[in-house]
Amino acid sequence: MLWIVSHCPTISQREKYAEELSNYIDVDVFGVCGRSGHRFKGDEKELLRKYKYYLSFENTKCQDYVTEKLYKVLHFEDGANAPVPIVMGPNRTWYEDNLPPKSFIHVDDFPGPKEMAAYLKLDSTYQEHMEWRKTSEIRKGRNMATRLCSKLHEIQTNTQANSHVIDDFPSFWQSRPCST
């Protein structure tokens, strides 16, 4: 299992979860928070391909907030040797609403790191979480922009029944629920 991490300690306490997880399964840590304390400078994609699992842990557990940590492994073009992201961030429903089924493993699915490690050690787990790549795809780039434009157009033309305008986005964003 791989974790590339450069911000520690964090509000989400992801580093504590990863440390406990490492008691039950090997976790290789690269980046400022790793043993060397240096940023990873090699070919990240080649490094990722060497692992079955990647810790995609966010700094905070905020509703609707994920970063490149998740998408860098989901966007492997051919899916070959892509690690499965193990996620900590928004609650499970966010991932279910936005990603293909079985394309991730959420830490909240287990009572703790020990139980998750036991699940990851099962021979069938990795392949089970790679099946989605045969039938689904994650769209990126222009498709996301197109979806955003379509939503904005719906709001402008008032065709979306439950729409509202956010006049002060920074205040709105700061008020979003986050948890530890």
Mean pLDDT lowest for which of 97-106, 111-120, 148-157? Answer: 148-157
Separation CA 55–CA 87 (nearest Å): 6
Q: Does residue 107 belong to any structural domain of this protein?
A: yes
Q: Is 171's pLDDT higher than 80?
A: no
Residue 152 within a domain? no
Does the residue 148 lie in any domain?
no
Q: Is the pLDDT of residue 161 over 70?
A: no
Q: What is the pLDDT of residues 107-146, one digit of tens each?
A: 999 999 999 999 999 999 999 999 998 888 776 555 556 6
What is the predicted pLDDT for the residue at 44?
Answer: 86
Note whether residue 175 is domain-resident. Answer: no
- Give the pLDDT confidence score for residue 91 in this predicted structure: 92
Cα–Cα distances in angstroms (integers) from residue 6 to residues 15, 25, 58, 130, in the given order: 11, 21, 11, 27
The pLDDT of residue 154 is 74
36 lies in some domain: yes
How does DSSP assign 40-87, residue by residue?
A: --S-HHHHHTT-SEEEEE-SSEETT---HHHHHHHT-SS-TTPPEEEE
**Whole-prediction pTM value?**
0.79
- Structural domain count of the chain: 1
The domain containing residue 89 runs over which residues? 2-137
Residue 73 belongs to a domain with what CATH number? Answer: 3.40.50.11660
156 found inside a domain: no
Nearest to 104 by CA among 115, 113, 93: 93
